[in-house]
A and B are shown apart, each in its own frame.
Chain A
């Protein structure tokens, strides 16, 4: 397992946002977490990525106990994330957005001197990553000036620049047109096959998730109600019920 969360729990006041959740992610898989609104998906996501600390339970990543680690430390050992509300450095160039992540990965972020050669190497790598997410040609644009779909791709590219073993994506398809959703979904699939990176997706768009994922975890009321390949999830009675009562987003 690349990621193994055991008995993760987080309460907000009386609300059991996440209650004793177990999660196992196979390396190089695309694993989706779905569930109706308020199921605890985003809280679980934040617990894994270090945005909040769990009240109980442990998270193991690649053999290391990362429970309660800060985002900075997680990024350094190869756990990256993207954001539901696209999060880029808006007033910096697209190229610089990527270069920042590469320098961070290489431990150069605090240096005052940098050789032209190393900066050129960083730019070259950034261009390669931009090619992967089909943003080449936009490297000199301000990130904030890109169309929404392209910003989402850039958000993912920033994560990729960290050379992560696992990348968690918080609703990568949310708020996008049908065309953009297809593009991003294709991008996610291509990243896994080209880079062998493990991808965990929290998503509302159930039909897309069915096509995309190797395995799906379904949450409801802060607990896991199903964890299986897409075909089994589709036929699962508990899942159907959950979505009948909740808001089925498709």
Chain B
């Protein structure tokens, strides 16, 4: 036993170095996309959409993967951010350094109020209420179609500026979005390792026990909900500015379901898994749907398969495979 524990830190350090290296390579590969898609702007736009989807998936994992709260209506915040940013861009200013902080600030406020009610519900009740919230937001777009554009979506969002410079080039957009994704990922990893992140995990693991060690689970869940909603709204705001329009589909339950599937496919609670899941499936969806109209059937079938054979998602399956290989190698060398 003592022997085993003594060698643990060394392996852990080696593992961490390997993981760090892998992350660095993946990050560099992601950043290089505009360099080799220069002639096909469409691919870059698709990649940008994948990055936005990745941010939304990450935001949901910050809730689901941390505290275990299952949201069926995460698109509510994604769409809310898109409409709020789009409307503010049309009415106030195209300066994104003002627009995006404004969107995040309003979302923090609103999600804190709504979250205050939601996080006091447990399990299915929470999930159903998030679904209802999504549909309310969806309906609001049509109720207020005078300013939201209703079914046509919010059109004519001006080209945004950053410090007065117009952001229009696809490559610049991509790097901007990618940078925000990396920053969000870094933030998510940092929180995961902080006392706050560990308290969240304690709630996911055993809420009752968490209460009995004195954790204020209500406040902790609310924090998780607000952080999650705010990041989703930021992604929505970025999409609206990038796309120049927002559509009510962004708020639909189908969008929520897709985000949920990205997270489950990628691996709930793994942070990086949902990001990969979202990126991979946004791109795959595009190509498969151009080949066949029934891509949803394949997608659904694949989803069922993953949930059954790899409940930890693609990343979870990969990680456990990796662990098995390295343990086997260690066992052989020992």
A and B: bona fide binding partners: yes
A47 contacts the other chain (Cβ, under 8 Å)?
A: no
Render A42-86 as a binary contact track against B, CB cut-off 8 A, 1 for contact. Answer: 000000010000000000000000000011110110001101000
Please give the distance in Å from A51's CB to the nearest CB on chain B: 9
Chain B residues, CB < 8 A from A137:
1-2, 5
Also in contact, A75 and B214, with CB within 8 A (given A109-B220, A110-B219, A140-B8): yes
Also in contact, A111 and B206, with CB within 8 A (given A75-B214, A76-B214): no
Please report which residues of chain B, range 187-219, place their CB below 8 angstroms from some CB of chain A when the two chains form the complex: 190-191, 194-196, 198-199, 201-202, 205-206, 208-217, 219
Residues A88 and B195 in contact, CB atoms below 8 Å apart: no
In angstroms, Cα B210 to Cα A71, docked, is 9
Residues B209 and A103 in contact, CB atoms below 8 Å apart: no
Please report which residues of chain A, range 95-126, place their CB below 8 angstroms from some CB of chain B when the two chains form the complex: 96, 99-101, 103-105, 108-114
CB < 8 Å: which of A71, A81, A103, A162 contacts B199? Answer: A103
Chain A residues, CB < 8 A from B205:
89-92
In angstroms, Cα B220 to Cα A174, docked, is 33
In angstroms, Cα B211 to Cα A202, docked, is 21
Residues B206 and A89 in contact, CB atoms below 8 Å apart: yes
Render B11-35 as a binary contact track against A, CB cut-off 8 A, 1 for contact. Answer: 0000000000000000000000000
Residues B195 and A114 in contact, CB atoms below 8 Å apart: yes
A139 contacts the other chain (Cβ, under 8 Å)?
A: yes
Number of A-B residue pairs at CB separation under 8 A: 93
Please report which residues of chain B, range 229-286, place their CB below 8 angstroms from some CB of chain A when the two chains form the complex: none
6 cross-chain CB contacts under 8 A: A72-B215, A75-B213, A92-B201, A103-B198, A109-B216, A137-B5
Task: Look across to chain A and name the residue whose beta carbon is closest to the beta carbon of B212.
Answer: A71
Residues A158 and B214 in contact, CB atoms below 8 Å apart: no
Also in contact, A87 and B209, with CB within 8 A (given A72-B215, A72-B216, A104-B215): yes
Task: Look across to chain A and name the residue whose beta carbon is closest to the beta carbon of B219.
Answer: A110
Q: Contacts A112-B196, A137-B2 known; list 10 others, CB within 8 Å.
A: A75-B211, A76-B214, A87-B212, A92-B202, A104-B213, A108-B195, A110-B219, A112-B194, A140-B8, A158-B209
Task: Look across to chain B and name the residue whose beta carbon is closest to the beta carbon of A144.
Answer: B205
CB < 8 Å: which of A83, A96, A139 contacts B198? Answer: A96
Also in contact, A109 and B209, with CB within 8 A (given A92-B201, A137-B5, A140-B5): no
Chain B residues, CB < 8 A from A75:
211-214
In angstroms, Cα B227 to Cα A110, docked, is 13
Residues A101 and B213 in contact, CB atoms below 8 Å apart: yes
B44 contacts the other chain (Cβ, under 8 Å)?
A: no
CB < 8 Å: which of A72, A110, A112 contacts B211? Answer: A72
Chain A residues, CB < 8 A from B99:
none
B223 contacts the other chain (Cβ, under 8 Å)?
A: yes
- Count of A interface residues, CB-CB < 8 Å: 36
Task: Look across to chain B and name the residue whose beta carbon is closest to the beta carbon of A76.
Answer: B214
In angstroms, Cα B211 to Cα A112, docked, is 20
Chain A residues, CB < 8 A from B199:
100, 103-104, 109-110
Chain B residues, CB < 8 A from A71:
211-212, 214
Please give the distance in Å from B117's CB to the nearest CB on chain A: 19
CB < 8 Å: which of A72, A91, A112 contacts B214? Answer: A72
Task: Look across to chain A and name the residue whose beta carbon is closest to the beta carbon of B204.
Answer: A91
Residues A89 and B202 in contact, CB atoms below 8 Å apart: yes
Task: Look across to chain A and name the residue whose beta carbon is closest to the beta carbon of B209.
Answer: A87
Residues B209 and A112 in contact, CB atoms below 8 Å apart: no
Q: Which of B8, B191, B206, B212 has the most CB of A within 10 A?
A: B212
Chain B residues, CB < 8 A from A139:
5
Please give the distance in Å from A130's CB to the nearest CB on chain B: 12
Please give the distance in Å from A48's CB to the nearest CB on chain B: 12
Chain A residues, CB < 8 A from B213:
75, 80, 100-101, 104, 158, 161-162
Residues B209 and A83 in contact, CB atoms below 8 Å apart: yes
Task: Look across to chain B and name the residue whose beta carbon is closest to the beta carbon of A112.
Answer: B194
Residues A114 and B194 in contact, CB atoms below 8 Å apart: yes
In angstroms, Cα B6 to Cα A140, docked, is 11
Residues B191 and A112 in contact, CB atoms below 8 Å apart: yes
Task: Look across to chain B and name the residue whose beta carbon is closest to the beta carbon of A158.
Answer: B213
Chain A residues, CB < 8 A from B201:
89, 92
Please give the distance in Å from B246's CB to the nearest CB on chain A: 32
Chain A residues, CB < 8 A from B217:
72
Chain A residues, CB < 8 A from B215:
72, 100, 104, 109
Please report which residues of chain A, range 199-226, place their CB below 8 angstroms from some CB of chain B when the two chains form the complex: none
Render A27-49 as a binary contact track against B, CB cut-off 8 A, 1 for contact. Answer: 00000000000000000000001
